[in-house]
Amino acid sequence: MRRMVPSLVDLCVQTAIDNVRYLGDVGETDSHLLERILPHCSLEQLIHVENSTQGRDLSQVTDRLWKRFYQIQFGEKSTNQVVERMKQKKVTFKWKLLYEAKSKEVEETQQRSFERIKELYQKEDAKRQSRQVRVCTKVPPSSNKRSFWGSGPGSSFCNTKSTLMKKAKIEFVNSREVKNLAAMKNKAVQRNHSHSQISPAKKPGGFSSMASSSRSNFTSR
């Protein structure tokens, strides 16, 4: 079986498809040729071709292509809803305009969602910072004040001070100087006590009574 030789038109169409990224103003190219070439364009390439072509409306060729991009981007369900609404209202819109309107609607919806999320984050951040400020500015209880229940930093300080005072007092009482002073004091007390027991026999009154007794005995003789 002999292989068919492509025509010159087919070769030109295939060359255009292979270099579709370089397409711009298609000028007066026949619509049936564009129907074979433009379906190979991406969304950006199709926009570029339409914007570059001057003095010609390509919607007769590109409208079905825009419907396909609409369906790819927003889903078959949304596409069917648009078709049904146009039938109900007996109106027709170009799919390029529908695509642009839908894209703008989606973008605005996303922007509103971003703003709401941003606002929620700001409120949450403000609450968190407010809690941090309240915690940082809280004045701790004074260590000089004793708690009613005897607990807390003030109570610990007082207990520590009392323990140190008791320890210092015990060390002072047991020191050598205090013991020597106590011993000297005890000796002085004992000396005074013994002196108080001997002193009545040495009083002048005692000798006087003895002398009187001797005289009376002598007189009686």
Domain boundaries, the chain: 8-92
Under the banding of pLDDT at 50, 70 and 90, the label for residue 220 is very low
Is residue 63 within 8 Å of residue 93, measured between CB atoms? no
Three-state secondary-structure class, residue 25: coil
Give the mean pLDDT of the chain.
77
The residue with greater pLDDT, 76 or 179, is 76
Name, of 67-71, 155-159, 202-206, the range with top average pLDDT.
67-71
pTM of the model: 0.53
CA 102 to chain centre: 39
Under the banding of pLDDT at 50, 70 and 90, the label for residue 148 is very low
> CA dist 28 to 9, 31, 33, Å?
15, 8, 11
The residue with greater pLDDT, 116 or 98, is 98
**CA distance linking residue 103 with residue 79, whole number of Å:** 13
Question: For residue 70, what pLDDT is reported?
Answer: 97
Residues of 33-62 as b/e, b for ≥16 C-beta within 10 angstroms?
ebeebbeebeeebbebbbeebeeeebeebb
The residue with greater pLDDT, 169 or 106, is 106
Question: For residue 200, what pLDDT is reported?
Answer: 46
Q: What is the arithmetic mean of pLDDT over 126-141? A: 68
Under the banding of pLDDT at 50, 70 and 90, the label for residue 215 is very low
CB atoms within 10 A of CB 147: 13
pLDDT in tens, 14-66: 999 999 999 999 989 999 999 999 999 999 999 999 999 999 999 999 999 99
The residue with greater pLDDT, 127 or 21, is 21
